[in-house]
Amino acid sequence: MGFSQGYGEADDAESTAAIRAAVEAGITLFDTAMSYGRGHNEELVGRALAGTEVAIASKFGIVRTESGVGLDGRPEHVAGYCEASLARLGREVIDVYYLHRIDPQVPVAETVGAMAELVAAGKVRHLGISEATPQQLREAVAVHPIAAVQFEWSMLWREPERDIVPVARELGVGLVAYSPLGRGLLTATLDSSTVATSDFRRNDPRFQGEHLDENLAQVAALRELAARLDISAGQLALAWLLAQGRDVVPIPGSRRAARILENAAAAAIELGAEDLAELDKLVPAEGWSGDRTSFAVPSTTRGGS
């Protein structure tokens, strides 16, 4: 997403170079969405990955128009959204196709039913759902197998461990963690100026006032432990998430090739029980401060015709 919106200015040439560096580093899954930059992101990712064998995941359901942002999960629009994404990506099949947000005006089972038709038609290989409640995930799985559920999960945001994670594991659904670096906070590289240049951080309570002060204290402890392990704070945060289970797939969003290579190297870091225990002691889950910005999107703006 950062190649198209949300985290300041980006350059397409630099973004393309970063994506290709990721391929060379062994990254095999790339996640995009029709809403990121109103199609720009899918076009960029499609061009950069042309001729590669990697898997591409995309999402539909958040609609950005001149009149605003809304949700559209109406079954009659699903095929059209998929065809448009395929055209922008320059591909015949999308490997994982997610419902980006659930439209409160449409039962999730109806939207997933339309998505299942895409699998039958050979347009999509696997289905996913993003930011679902446990009950919504159960309803989706009852219609068609769901390969993955996507949600924010990191050392900074542990709430999913209480609800969606155990239910997904019960149902055999993979866990895809977005913002696994806490919107950059867990890299220990942010300051007030970088917060100010990002819409997503500037409007997030965790990056404001006393909440930010408390969170930076946690990050300082994370950085100290990472230094003792001779890795970066971001690598330690990713390694912690990977240690939560083999069914966990973090998708860190990075705009620079150097950062992508650093993140990729985290896959080779294995934290032992003692490391994880020390991490929980030095950077306790209850030490983080502030709630995240609500991810509910008004469904008053509807897509399609």
The CATH code of the domain that includes 55 is: 3.20.20.100
pLDDT for res 38: 86
At residue 301 the predicted structure's pLDDT band, cuts being 50, 70 and 90, is very low
Q: What is the DSSP letter of 4?
A: T
Q: Which of 7, 36, 81, 98 is catalytic?
A: 36
**Which of helix, strand or coil describes residue 152?**
strand
Please check whether residue 168 is in contact with residue 138, taking contact to mean a CB–CB distance below 8 angstroms. no
Q: What is the DSSP letter of 292?
A: P
Asked whether the whole model's pTM tops 0.85, one would answer yes
Q: What is the dihedral of CA 133, 134, 137, 139, to 10 degrees?
A: -100
Instruction: Please check whether residue 158 lies inside any domain of the structure.
Output: no
| 182 Rama sector, left if φ>0, alpha if ψ -120 to 50, beta otherwise | left
Token readout for 113 is 């039913």
- Mean pLDDT of the region 197-216: 76
Instruction: Please check whether residue 92 lies inside any domain of the structure.
Output: yes
Q: What H or E segment, with its residue span, contains residue 250?
A: strand 248-251
- Mean pLDDT of the region 131-157: 97
Quote the percentage of the chain above a pLDDT of 90: 75
Instruction: Please check whether residue 90 lies inside any domain of the structure.
Output: yes
Instruction: Please check whether residue 245 lies inside any domain of the structure.
Output: no
Instruction: Please check whether residue 54 lies inside any domain of the structure.
Output: yes
36 included as an active-site residue: yes
Q: What is the DSSP letter of 300?
A: S
pLDDT at residue 185 is higher than 70: yes
Please check whether residue 180 is in contact with residue 251, taking contact to mean a CB–CB distance below 8 angstroms. yes
Least confident of 85-89, 197-201, 250-254: 197-201
At residue 304 the predicted structure's pLDDT band, cuts being 50, 70 and 90, is very low
pLDDT at residue 186 is higher than 50: yes
Instruction: Please check whether residue 122 lies inside any domain of the structure.
Output: yes
Q: What domain range is 52 assigned to?
A: 12-152
Measured in degrees and rounded to the nearest 5, phi and psi for residue 152 equal -70, 130
Instruction: Please check whether residue 41 lies inside any domain of the structure.
Output: yes
pLDDT for res 197: 57
Q: How far apart are the C-alpha atoms of 79 and 99, rounded to whole Å?
A: 12
The CB density around residue 91, as the number of other CB atoms within 10 Å, is 18
**Which of helix, strand or coil describes residue 133?**
coil
Instruction: Please check whether residue 78 lies inside any domain of the structure.
Output: yes
List, in sequence order, every residue forming a beta bridge with 117; answer none if it has no partner: none
What helix, strand, coil percent values describe the chain, rounded to 5?
Answer: 50, 15, 35
pLDDT for res 207: 79
Instruction: Domain count for the chain, please give it.
Output: 1
Token readout for 257 is 């090739």
